[in-house]
Amino acid sequence: MQRNGAKHSGNGRAKVKARAPQWASWAAGLTGVGVALVPWLSGSVYVGARPVAPSDTLTALLWGADMPLMGMFLASLLILAGFLIAAWNAEMWRLPIGRFLLPSALLILWMGVSTVVMQSGWAGLLRVVQWLVGLIALLTIVAVVRRGVSAWLVIAPVLVSASLVGLRACTEYLINALGGVPNWRVFASFFNPNLLAGYLAMTTPLTLGALLMLGRELPEPRRRVYTALLTVAVWLQLSALALTASRLGMLAFVGAGSVFMGAAGAWRLLSRDFILRLMVVGVLLLGVFWLSTPATQRLTPQAATQDVHSGAFRIETWKGALRAALANPIVGVGTGAFEWQYPRYAQVGYTRSAHNTYLEIAAESGLPALLFLLVAAMGWLARAAQREQPPDPNRPITRVMDWRPMRVGILAGVAGAALHNAVDSDLQAFANLLTLWAVLGLGIALAVDGVFTIPVRAIERRGTALAVGLTVAVALAAFGLGEWYANQGRYETLVTHVPQAAEFYSLARRFDSTNPDYLMDAGELYYALGRRETAFELMTRSVKLKPSPRNLYRLGLYYEREGDLEKARAQYEAALARDPHSLPALLKLAQLAQPDPNNPQLGEEAKRYYERVVEIQNSPYGQIRAVPEIVETAYGFAHLALARHYRALNETVKAQGHYEQALAVFRNYREVTYPFNLAGRALGMYNPERERQILSAYLQTLNELAALYEAQGRSAEASSLKEEYGRLSAE
Specify burial of residue 713 (Cβ count, 10 A radius: 0-12, 13-18, 19+). Answer: exposed
Q: How confident is the model at residue 220 (pLDDT cuts 50, 70, 90)?
A: confident
- Asked whether residue 301 carries a pLDDT value surpassing 60, the answer given is no
**Angle, in degrees to the nearest 10, between helices 121-144 and 22-42:** 140
Q: How confident is the model at residue 1 (pLDDT cuts 50, 70, 90)?
A: very low
Q: Determine the pLDDT at residue 554.
A: 95
- Asked whether residue 397 carries a pLDDT value surpassing 60, the answer given is no
Q: Determine the pLDDT at residue 687.
A: 77
Q: Determine the pLDDT at residue 31.
A: 98
Q: Determine the pLDDT at residue 10.
A: 39
- Asked whether residue 243 carries a pLDDT value surpassing 70, the answer given is yes
Q: Determine the pLDDT at residue 305.
A: 43
CB atoms within 10 A of CB 93: 18
Measured distance CA(379)–CA(444) in Å, rounded: 10
What's 56-123 look like in SS3?
Answer: HHHHHHHHHCCCHHHHHHHHHHHHHHHHHHHHHHCCEEEEECHHHHHHHHHHHHHHHHHHHHCCCHHH
Q: How confident is the model at residue 256 (pLDDT cuts 50, 70, 90)?
A: very high
Q: Determine the pLDDT at residue 288.
A: 87
CATH code of the domain made up of 515-592: 1.25.40.10
Strands (E), 398-457: 451-455
Nearest to 283 by CA among 339, 223, 231: 231
Q: How confident is the model at residue 321 (pLDDT cuts 50, 70, 90)?
A: very high
Q: Are 200 and 234 in contact (CB under 8 A)?
A: no
Q: Are 172 and 187 in contact (CB under 8 A)?
A: yes
Phi, psi of 452 (to 5 degrees): -130, 150
Q: Determine the pLDDT at residue 271.
A: 92
Which pLDDT tens digit goes with each residue over 643-677? 999 999 999 999 999 999 999 999 999 988 888 77
Give me the sign of the Cα torsion angle 656, 661, 664, 669.
negative
Q: What's the whole-number mean pLDDT along residues 298-302?
A: 51
Amino acid at 210: A
Specify burial of residue 301 (Cβ count, 10 A radius: 0-12, 13-18, 19+). Answer: exposed
CATH topology of domain 593-731: 1.25.40
Q: How confident is the model at residue 566 (pLDDT cuts 50, 70, 90)?
A: very high
Cis peptide before 221, with omega less than 30 degrees from 0? Answer: yes
Residues of the chain with pLDDT > 70: what percent? 93
Measured distance CA(72)–CA(289) in Å, rounded: 34
**Residue boundaries of the structural domains of the chain:** 97-454, 515-592, 593-731
Length of the chain in terms of residues written? 731
Measured distance CA(278)–CA(662) in Å, rounded: 55
Q: How confident is the model at residue 15 (pLDDT cuts 50, 70, 90)?
A: very low
Confirm whether 515-592 and 593-731 share one CATH topology. yes
Half-sphere exposure of 393 (CA within 13 A, CB side): 2
Instruction: Please work out, in degrees rounded to the nearest 5, the angle formed at the alpha carbon of residue 660 by the alpha carbons of 655 and 664.
Output: 150
Mean pLDDT, the chain, as a whole number? 91
Contacts of residue 698, Cβ cutoff 8 Å, sequence gap at least 6: 636, 663, 666, 667, 670, 728
Q: What's the whole-number mean pLDDT along residues 94-106?
A: 95
- DSSP 8-class letter at 20: -
Ranges of H-type helices in 118-144? 121-144
Half-sphere exposure of 656 (CA within 13 A, CB side): 14
Q: How confident is the model at residue 9 (pLDDT cuts 50, 70, 90)?
A: very low
Q: Are 178 and 237 in contact (CB under 8 A)?
A: no
With H, G, I as helix, E, B as strand and everything else as coil, classify residue 397.
coil
Q: Determine the pLDDT at residue 7.
A: 39
- Asked whether residue 492 carries a pLDDT value surpassing 60, the answer given is yes
